[in-house]
Amino acid sequence: MNLRELPLEDIRHRLAGPGLCLRTGPFTVRIRSRISAVVDSLTLLYADHPVLADEVFCDFHVRLLRPLGLRRWWRPQVKFAFDDFVPFKPLPYDHAFPMLEWGLNWSVAQHAHWYLVVHAAVIEQKGRAAILPAPPGSGKSTLTAALVQRGWRLLSDELTLIDPETGLVHALARPVSLKNTSLPLLRAWAPEAVFGPPAHDTLKGTVAHMKPPQESVARMEEPAHPAWVIFPRYVPDSAPRLTPHPRAHALLELAHNAFNYSALGSCGYDTLARLIATVECFDFTYSRLEDALNIFTRLADGP
């Protein structure tokens, strides 16, 4: 059963009680919250994700809740809990859903050590995956959101999960986080896309999440072979430019962007070394989404 098939009252009951068990790629997460904004955004943005029975084993148990005391009434806040551990300071109450998404990213990055977890978007077409590592503000998520609205499959906009044994990349296919000027850009690029309500004045500015394409969610158990590592960078008024990136530098940058590279020890290095040996590496600068789509289409159509 997918979340869209569950009556709203059942969703509210599970979130307020035993927890709503959602399958997101290789993970099952149990979510608890009585916050209406969390209920509404989950119902909208996770509509195509599988819902599992209450008694199922879950990888992560998370809660979004209001702190007690004066803060419950004066400038109300929300806090994220992993089991009974609260890893972050509370945020304003209307940042509840972005906090859930950031908390889920933290849960995977801190605990899923059976994967090498890299801070990078990853998309796929024709069985071949493009890994897109880039710092905040580089246009990574904007580019990812635009391409998955034009036929690329979303594996993740934040976390690349590499299996050390197979070298395959696994999918999360959760909502894509977009910020500030990228929001009207994507709304114009894909009028049919579904967006959650914006959260204003976050540490990243105005943030809203785009619902992942239904096909990406339906195929999220399907891993992909990495074919490219591409370092994207948005440069205003620039012509599109795809240039080779030295493999040795790419390995170092992926290691730098991996959350658990040190924790995995030699396994982390071996995993990246095998990956880099089999992919093409590029720098990519762009200013127009149409140009980016053309270049990525040529890559996918190539040998």
Half-sphere exposure at residue 62, Cβ-oriented, CA atoms within 13 angstroms? 27
The upper half-sphere exposure of residue 71, i.e. CA atoms within 13 Å in the direction of its Cβ, equals 11
pLDDT for 175: 97
Tens of pLDDT along the chain (303 residues) come to 999 999 999 999 999 999 999 999 999 999 999 999 999 999 999 999 999 998 899 999 999 998 877 677 778 899 999 998 999 999 999 999 999 999 999 999 999 999 999 999 999 999 999 999 988 888 899 999 999 999 999 999 999 999 999 999 999 999 999 999 999 999 999 999 999 999 999 888 999 999 999 999 999 999 999 999 999 999 999 999 999 999 999 999 999 999 999 999 999 999 999 999 999 999 999 999 999 999 999 999 987
Given this model, what pLDDT does residue 234 score? Answer: 93
Residue 224 pLDDT:
97
Distances (CA, A) of 135 to 24, 102, 257, 290: 24, 16, 9, 22
- Of 225, 127, 137, 216, nearest in space to 181 by CA: 137
- Report the alpha-carbon distance of residue 278 to residue 227 in Å, rounded: 7
What pLDDT is attached to residue 84? 85
User: Is 1 strand, coil or helix?
Assistant: coil
Alpha-carbon gap, residue 19 to 13, rounded angstroms? 8
- The whole-number pLDDT of residue 137 equals 81
Q: How far apart are CA 27 and CA 65, in angstroms?
A: 22
Q: What is the pTM of this model?
A: 0.94
Tell me the three state secondary structure of residue 186: helix
